[in-house]
Structure 1
Amino acid sequence: MKFLFAINPVSGGVAKAGWEDGIRAYFSESVHEADLMQLTGEDDDVRLRERIEQLRPDCVVAVGGDGTVKLVAEQLLKTTTPLGILPAGSANGMARELSLPSRLEDCLDVIVNGQARPIDVIAINGNNICLHLSDIGLNARLVRYYQRNNWRGQLGYARGVIRVLLRKRLLTVQIRTEQQVLNRNAFMVVLANARMYGTGAIINPEGNVADGRFEVVVLRRISFWEFLKMFWRYRPFDSSKTEIFSATSVCIETRRKVYFQVDGEYMGRVARIDAEIQPGQLMVMLPQTADGGTVL
């Protein structure tokens, strides 16, 4: 089998030389082939597409964080070529969601010996996809601060939370699904294909990336400590403050333009989001369980 590794050398602020050495060492004693490609941040989508067409790999592996995973996934949508993940970023939300191991050799074992399973994606505004979590409001503004100031670690997170909450404003939102129309005032609205953020915070306890649906999570009231705790440990949701409902499509409109992020990437300000589930459009390599199944 042939494996193509798309390596983001700067994700997580950590050099990937050790990862590259580990990949080469693993495959040096294998009958399989590994081809390593460095991402540069310039025309990576075009370069990756050309390399896939040239190499025809049996699996394409994203080495980086959620942004790298999304970049690779976009090239594999609606194909039979599975996505492998080596979680090497500052936020590894999809790796957490899929119960992937953190050790390099264990992850490589999953990529080579695991099982490919289909997962859903959310199509957003016709030209974007969400694998994991998208939102408007507080967290999207926090993502913007992170990217603009290049903040890292717990201190950077705390600084961002304080800054966001000092400037928080209620959003006036209309949410239309195939079943209902809701008008809400909220600090944050999440489109959740999965359960948790990259920090491990569970925002959507019943989420499942392979159930043919996604959840809309509406945070109507929130304090500093609630927002801070939400990203460090699970706590029961208070239904008077948070609503969660399932959908296959949704249109969200706001009275004014609001901050918007998709899978950890700030997308600017928007006043409307149209989202629709696309079931089983991406194949992903998953670890096998003791009974021969997978985590999904």
Structure 2
Amino acid sequence: MTKTNILFIINPISGGKNKLKIPGIIEAHLDHRQFNANFSFTEYVGHAAEIAEEAANHNFDVIVAVGGDGTINEIGTKVMKSNKVLGIIPFGSGNGLARFLKIPMNTKGAIEVINKLHISKIDTATFNDKYFFNMAGMGFDAHISSIFAGNKKRGLSGYVKLGLKEMMDYKAQQYDITVDGIAYSRKAFVVSIANSSQYGNNAHVSPRASVTDGLLDVCIIKKFPLYKMPVLAMEMILAKTDHSELVEIIRGKHIQIGREADAAIHIDGEPFFMGADIEITVDPLSLQIITPL
């Protein structure tokens, strides 16, 4: 029986969790009759992409991201371009894509999914020249992502504390949005482009989003008074934002956004600085990924 070469790329800082023991846990639960396992730890931003590209060129058929949505993005971009297969062991702060795909949050369960090697295809998208797989956007969440990147305290609690602090001073912005040729002008707190339904931690901004429908959901979180923040948070947790007076969702394939100035954006939770004009397109069923049956 020919074994599949599999590489686990481990981000040691994602989610603020120690991962030195992860190779041992994987070795204990991986089906070695089926896989030849190798491991690599990232050492700097962009290193996961470099490792994935080299692995794809050296006969690794399955490349597994051990980390969060940002790590998945780096690795998934190279996996997709080389027509290899992506696996996920969730270890991020939010794990939005893994949660949406129903990949177990515990390491043993995620490895058992990999052992079954059930391969699905999902949509990907581009945000100007950058690929994303779960969620991208601009506004308050991008502002927070850019600040959080320099915060030594990773994880959900650090993100929430920072968000509450910054929310007091953040002002809604004006956006000119075109979706499949139809124009909209909106004042918004956040504009998120959703491939899956959630940011992470089961906070669903677009409950009906699907990674296999060939569409993206433009989620416009409107300007709202601070006292309504608990209402919005509860609607996200209950996956009811599609009925919210605070959120407007527009679905489409080709999206153009003009904003007031160059500013922060986020791609799968990772911050970048980008120009005022954004173009977003979907690439249907372009990434092979291991999912539960």
Question: Structure 1 length as normaliser, TM-score?
Answer: 0.89
Q: Which amino acid aligns with 1:192?
A: A
Counterpart selection for 1:264 from 254, 266, 269: 269
Aligned identity (percent) is 26
Cα deviation digits, residues 186-243 of structure 1 (max 9, x gap): 1111111110111210100110011101010111133435445645622633554321
Q: In structure 1, what residue type is equivalent to 2:213?
A: D
Q: Which stretch of structure 1 is more off in the superposition, 76-85 or 187-196?
A: 76-85
- Partner of residue 238, structure 2: 234
- Cα root mean square deviation, aligned: 2.1
State which of 80, 100, 104 in structure 1 corresponds to 2:103: 100
Q: Report the Cα offset of residue 154 of structure 1.
A: 5.2
Q: Per-residue deviation at 1:164? A: 2.3
Whether the 8 Å contact between 2:113 and 2:291 is mirrored in structure 1 is: yes
CA distance in 1, matches of 2:156, 2:87: 28
Asked whether the 8 Å contact 1:203–1:230 carries over to 2, the reply is no
Give the aligned partner of residue 129 of structure 1.
Answer: 131
Q: In the alignment, what sits opposite 1:279?
A: 284
Name the CA shift for 1:5/1:235 in 2 (closer, same or farther; >3 Å). closer
Distance 1:64 1:43, change over 3 A: closer
Map of 1:131-146 to 2, 5 A cutoff?
131-146=133-148
**Which residue pairs with 1:11 in the alignment?**
14
Q: 1:250 to 1:15 in 2, by over 3 A?
A: same
Whether the 8 Å contact between 1:197 and 1:231 is mirrored in structure 2 is no
Q: Tell me whether 141-150 or 203-212 shows the greater mean CA deviation.
A: 141-150
Contact 1:221-1:242 within 8 A present in 2 as well: no
* 1:67 has 2:65 as partner: no
Counterpart amino acid of 1:142? Answer: I
Moved more, 215-224 or 273-282: 215-224
Q: Secondary structure of the residue that 1:211 maps to in structure 2?
A: coil
Counterpart selection for 1:157 from 159, 182, 187: 159
Gaps of 5+ in 1: 289-296
SS at match of 1:21: helix
* Distance in 2, Cα, partners of 1:244 & 1:30: 47
Matched letter for residue 251 of structure 2: S
Equivalences for 1:1-296 in 2 at 5 Å? 1-27=4-30, 30-41=33-44, 44=47, 45-54=49-58, 56-125=59-128, 127-153=129-155, 155-227=157-229, 230-231=232-233, 233-234=237-238, 236-237=240-241, 239-288=244-293
CA separation of 1:47/1:73 partners in 2, compared to 1, >3 Å: closer, same or farther?
A: same
- Are the equivalent residues in 2 in contact too, given 1:7–1:39 (CA < 8 A)? yes
Q: Distance in 2 between matches of 1:19 and 1:118?
A: 27
Aligned-partner SS, 2:28? helix
**1:31 offset after TM fit, Å?**
4.4
SS in 2 for 1:215: strand
Distance 1:75 1:180 in 2: 33
> Cα distance, 1:77 vs. partner?
1.3
Report the CA distance shift for 1:286/1:226 in structure 2 as closer, same or farther (over 3 A). Answer: farther
Q: How many residues of Structure 1 are paired with residues of Structure 2 in the alignment?
A: 286
**In 2, Cα distance between equivalents of 1:249 and 1:58:** 32
Structure 2 counterpart SS, 1:149: coil
